[in-house]
């Protein structure tokens, strides 16, 4: 199981995320193996085929806050929580901070956290997208 405390070690071993770009949308990643995560104190199994868009960063801030690479590791549990809503929005955002702190400079992690706290409600409250509905079946809270 991957947690904010052990994710860096898993990443060094190449065991965090095994994914590939979606052929229909190059901005979306697809898991090609199951991943078990600790999110908001719950064990969550994310099944093969889960799609996520890495970190949602405005294009004009990508130079300072990249959305892919190691930053996708923090975005995956956050997107899982946002799609399934098995926890509160604050808990999901707090997990994003916890996972970001494992890989980022604290200033960068806290800026990312501030961004999801300020603008995350737009995604949390919007109508469920086709991708969110497809992903629902790939999230199992254990």
Helix (H) or strand (E) holding 120: helix 106-124
Q: Nearest CA to 73 among 94, 42, 98?
A: 98
Judged by phi (left if over 0) then psi (alpha if -120 to 50, else beta), residue 83 lies in: alpha
Interval 47-90: pLDDT, tens: 999 998 877 777 777 667 766 777 778 889 999 999 999 999 99
pTM exceeds 0.75: yes
Where are the chain's structural domains?
7-141
Beta-bridge partners for 139: 46
13, 15, 20, 26 alpha-carbon torsion, rounded to 10°: -80
């Amino acid at each position: 199981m991957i947690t904010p405390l052990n994710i860096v070690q898993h990443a060094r071993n190449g065991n965090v995320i095994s994914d590939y770009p979606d052929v229909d949308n190059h901005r979306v990643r697809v898991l090609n193996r199951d991943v078990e995560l600790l999110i908001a104190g719950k064990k969550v199994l994310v099944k093969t085929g889960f799609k996520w868009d890495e970190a949602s960063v405005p294009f004009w801030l990508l130079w300072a806050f990249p959305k892919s690479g190691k930053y996708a590791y923090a975005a995956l549990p956050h997107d899982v929580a946002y799609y399934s809503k098995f926890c509160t929005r604050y808990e999901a955002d707090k997990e994003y901070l916890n996972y970001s702190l494992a890989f980022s400079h604290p200033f960068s992690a806290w800026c990312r956290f501030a961004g999801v706290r300020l603008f995350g409600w737009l995604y949390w409250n919007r109508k469920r997208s086709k991708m969110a509905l497809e992903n629902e079946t790939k999230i199992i809270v254990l």
